[in-house]
Structure 1
Amino acid sequence: MDLLDRPSVRLPGPCPEIETARLTLRPHRPGDADAIAQSLADFQVARMLSRVPAPYDRQDAADWLSRVRSGLTPDWALAITTGDDVHIGVVGLELRHGLWHLGYWLNRYYWGRGLMSEAASAAIERFFRRMPDVVLHSGAFADNTASLRIQEKLGFSVKGCGDLYSLARNAVAPHIETELTQAGFRPAARC
């Protein structure tokens, strides 16, 4: 029996569209492939992710989009877009091994503006409205201090550390594991 067929597994429902002060988070479209490929071809972005190869090209993006858009998983993979619908990153909530995980990335040219805090906060807030009793897991490579600051600001607490293989780095690197409950969630300040 597949995990999704088990009656005990609660699911958050279809991937929503969420508006924030500066962003729109929406389900992905096939036309997002070029922007995804451009962002993840940047090694400074890809090296902070565990499952992204380097080099990364348009076919990698098209394959990922095909899986995301298949509807075969309960995951939310939200495109982070600006007011003119430019795809600048992803915030995802993924069911892995029976646990919900938050993951995200942002095109490097948008770093340092508080956009990821805004996007992740909005996605988490919507997720907890639908799944209030879930513990949300996340983490970051130890050298990704910006990501760890985002998680700390949102209320994630450190639960451990270990080593995790990074496909882009082609190496194992120290990884900090974090988790968040609805009670501990601190939404990012509205812009």
Structure 2
Amino acid sequence: MFPDLTRDDVFRIETRRLWLRWPMARDADAIARLAGDPAVARRTSVIPTPLPQHEAESFVLRARAGNAAGEGLVMALCRRASPGHAVGIIGIESRPETDAPTDAPHLGYWLGRPCWGEGLMREAAEAMVEAFFAYAGGRSLASSVMLDNPASRRILEACGFVPDGRGAFFSVARGETVAADSFRLDRAGWLDRRGRSAGGSA
């Protein structure tokens, strides 16, 4: 899915306030603590609360293996001033186990609660969308958001995603099936949005 450029752990994406880099073993503590926060985990499908340390360590190993194989791109979010300290995770991966109405790769993310309200995840999501379409030549990208998570919906809409149906998925942290909206961004929509942004800044 992703090219050789992204398959080395020196690869990173820099934005105005963030470094997006490969997850490292030393990130496991922060991942367990931040992602295992009930306020964060309940907004995801697969993260339990609490999140055991060994599961965070296993996640890092799987993410690095997937990145190296080009099967996806999972990145740790770090403030530029503290590139060694992860505050969230964002990734694009295949999601064959989901009931989403598309087989497109899936954009997923979470951000530690201390960083909420700063617009950091929107900044990271825009950078990952750009990487998918510009570096990887992607054709279509999917995502989903629980109905009770308007902040995540705003992030997707800001990146150009459009609604693509309604469904549900099981949330491990909630222990129940949760209604969710699916979203999609295709290459034509990305190019159109990119062109309008460039025109607006000329």
The TM-score, its normalising length taken from structure 1, stands at: 0.87
C-alpha displacement of 1:133? 4.5
- Secondary structure of 2:164's match? strand
Partner of 1:151: 156
Structure 1: gaps spanning 5 or more residues = 1-9
CA contact (8 A) 1:12 1:127 kept: no
Q: What is the distance in 2 between the residues matched to 1:126 and 1:73?
A: 13
- Secondary structure of 1:52's match? coil
Partner of 1:32: 27
Partner of 1:140: 145
Q: Which structure 1 residue ranges, 4+ long, deviate > 6 Å from structure 2? A: none
C-alpha displacement of 1:99? 2.6
- Secondary structure of 1:51's match? coil
CA contact (8 A) 1:91 1:119 kept: yes
Partner of 1:167: 172
C-alpha displacement of 1:57? 2.0
Deviations 1:25-83 (Å, cap 9, x if unpaired)? 00111110001011012100000000111221211100111111223561111000012
Partner of 2:89: 90
The TM-score, its normalising length taken from structure 2, stands at: 0.83
Q: What is the distance in 1 between the residues matched to 2:127 and 2:77?
A: 11
Question: For residues 133 and 17 of structure 1, do their structure 2 counterparts lie closer, same or farther at Cα, with a shift above 3 Å needed?
Answer: closer
- Secondary structure of 2:74's match? strand
CA contact (8 A) 1:165 1:173 kept: yes
CA contact (8 A) 1:11 1:74 kept: yes
CA contact (8 A) 1:12 1:74 kept: no
Letter of the 1:77 counterpart = V
Structure 2: gaps spanning 5 or more residues = 97-102, 198-202
Q: Is 1:59 matched up with 2:58?
A: no
C-alpha displacement of 1:135? 0.6
- The structure that is helix-richer by fraction is 2
Question: For residues 67 and 73 of structure 1, do their structure 2 counterparts lie closer, same or farther at Cα, with a shift above 3 Å needed?
Answer: farther
Letter of the 1:42 counterpart = D
Q: How many residues align?
A: 179
CA contact (8 A) 2:20 2:124 kept: yes
